[in-house]
Amino acid sequence: MNRLWGHFYTITSHKIKVAGLCFRCGLYKQGILHDLSKYSPIEFISGVRYYQGHRSPISKEKEVLGYSKGWLHHKGRNRHHWEYWVDFFRQGMYAVEMPVNFNIEMVCDRIAASKTYLKESYTDSSPLQYFEGEQGRIAMHPKTVERTYYF
């Protein structure tokens, strides 16, 4: 029961933080709808099962299973994730440019996630440090990357 309430509290407080940031940017609908899929059975059950409190349960699920059912569901339904904008062809991967409104929501999401998981150790540079640390392993369209630094 502890993990259930812990996970519910974490995703709800994260969602509220993102909504506040989106509202400040004029993205009211996106702020309200942000991450609603986290309450769907496939994502919520995985989240509870792998909840730890100090990091995303997706990371733990990937360690245990080698992949995350919750993440596969989540990234295919939430356009603020760069992974949503990657397509695959016989020739390989192609990163599509993310629309500006979802790019802004992505930045709001990263700020809120950093605040949620880092708690007292959060600094205003934490989201940027995370983003820069990911640059070698992500397939994000160059214009999306450039805009992300701008925001």
What are the tens digits of pLDDT across the range 53-102?
888 999 999 999 999 999 999 999 999 999 999 999 888 889 999 999 99
Per-residue pLDDT averaged across 124-141, rounded?
Answer: 89
Per-residue pLDDT averaged across 121-142, rounded?
Answer: 89
Domain count, the chain: 1
Per-residue pLDDT averaged across 143-147, rounded?
Answer: 93
Q: What is the pLDDT of residues 15-35, one digit of tens each?
A: 999 999 999 999 999 999 999
Q: Which of 28, 8, 36, 12 is nearest to 105 (CA)?
A: 28
Cα separation, 61 vs 96, in Å, equals 28
Task: Give the pLDDT score at 83.
Answer: 94
Would you say residue 117 has pLDDT above 90?
A: no
- The parent domain of residue 126 ranges over 2-150
Antiparallel, parallel or unpaired: β 86-89 and 92-95: antiparallel
Cα separation, 11 vs 149, in Å, equals 26
Would you say residue 110 has pLDDT above 90?
A: yes
Task: Give the pLDDT score at 1.
Answer: 65
Cα separation, 56 vs 129, in Å, equals 17
Task: Enumerate the H helices of the chain as residue ranges.
Answer: 2-24, 28-33, 41-49, 57-65, 69-75, 100-118, 126-134, 142-150
Chain length of the chain:
151
pTM above 0.85, yes or no: yes
Cα separation, 17 vs 135, in Å, equals 25
Would you say residue 138 has pLDDT above 90?
A: no
